[in-house]
Amino acid sequence: MRKNISRVIVTIVIVCLILTIIGLGVRTYYLKNHPSQTSGNAAGGPGGGRNGRNAITVRVTPVAQDTIENSVRLNGDVLAVNQVSIFPTVGGKITQTLYQVGDRVNRGAVVATVDPSRPGEVFSESPVVSTIGGYVLSTPVLLGDTVSTQTAVIVVGDLSSLVIETFVPERFSNAARRGLAAQIFLEALPGEIFTAAVEEVSPVLDPASRTLRIRLRFTGERDERIKAGMFATVSLVTNTRRDIPVIRRESAINTYGSWIVFTVNEQNIASRREISLGLENEEFVEVVSGLELGEIVVSAGQNFLTDGDLVRIVE
């Protein structure tokens, strides 16, 4: 009797399990073939999207009219405008040095003395006179050194006016001209930007390095913190386009060599658009064709979009 009851219970349990599995299979099949009935919202309704997809959250910006400057970054050095090496008028032994690096020197001041005497001969010491006023930048010789008329005894620079010297690669050489604007970044003053303009352009390229030497002068008031010898990074403006349509750089996506963006219409529907680009800088890029001023372009979230998707715009 008990065995019969146990068999009935086991049979009932097995039948219930089979019915449950069949029910889950039917539900899965129905959901797979009727997604629009279970998405919670009809297409185009609040929180819903085309083909039952949810709206994709994006940020947008309009196509605006602006100015773009194309630039190239170069390494350079801050130099004194007038930097002169002082040479003795006679050869001999250095018997006296009167200035150290950093000292202020007036024009006509004696900076060192040279004894031109030879064995068995006695001559008066010859003074070495500075030809300019400024600060001592270096002292290449030491007391007791033997020098000739071709040996620089001291280097004097006028630090009241500084320039930045740099070398422009050949492919940008035609863009270098007097008056060209630039931004200067100094290693010793991080986070600060200084302005300068090209003052001197070499007429020839260096045949060894294929570069063009230029010098830039700081514009605006002199900053006493800037010193000769500092390392500088020069951002040189090589091309400028004014009053052109621009979009943010991150808006454009490169696909197989073509550039595309997604625009958004009044119904918040995204449309794929192929465009042509021109000049660019760190933030913006010129739109040559494919977009009109005022059109709304997706600037964040576009990598998840396809043509025709419903979007939700956030600030």
Mean pLDDT by 10 residues, the chain (315 residues): 65 76 69 48 43 78 89 90 90 92 91 90 90 89 93 88 92 89 92 93 93 93 87 88 91 90 93 91 88 92 89 87
User: Is beta strand 146-147 parallel, antiparallel or unpaired with respect to 104-105?
Assistant: unpaired
| pLDDT number for residue 82 | 81
**What topology is assigned to 82-158 in CATH?**
OB fold (Dihydrolipoamide Acetyltransferase, E2P) (2.40.50)
Q: What's the confidence (pLDDT) of residue 8?
A: 66
- Partnered with residue 60 across adjacent β-strands are 298
Let me know if 297 is exposed, middle or buried by CB neighbors in 10 A (0-12, 13-18, 19+): buried
- Name the CATH architecture for the domain at 50-63+252-313: Beta Barrel (2.40)
- CATH for 71-78+160-241 is 2.40.30.170
Distance CA 151, CA 85 (A): 9
Domains 71-78+160-241 and 82-158 share a fold: no
pLDDT of residue 44: 41
Q: What is the pLDDT of residue 28?
A: 66
CA terminus-to-terminus distance, the chain: 75
For residue 2, the model assigns a pLDDT of 56
Could you tell me the residue ranges of all domains in the chain? 2-33, 50-63+252-313, 71-78+160-241, 82-158
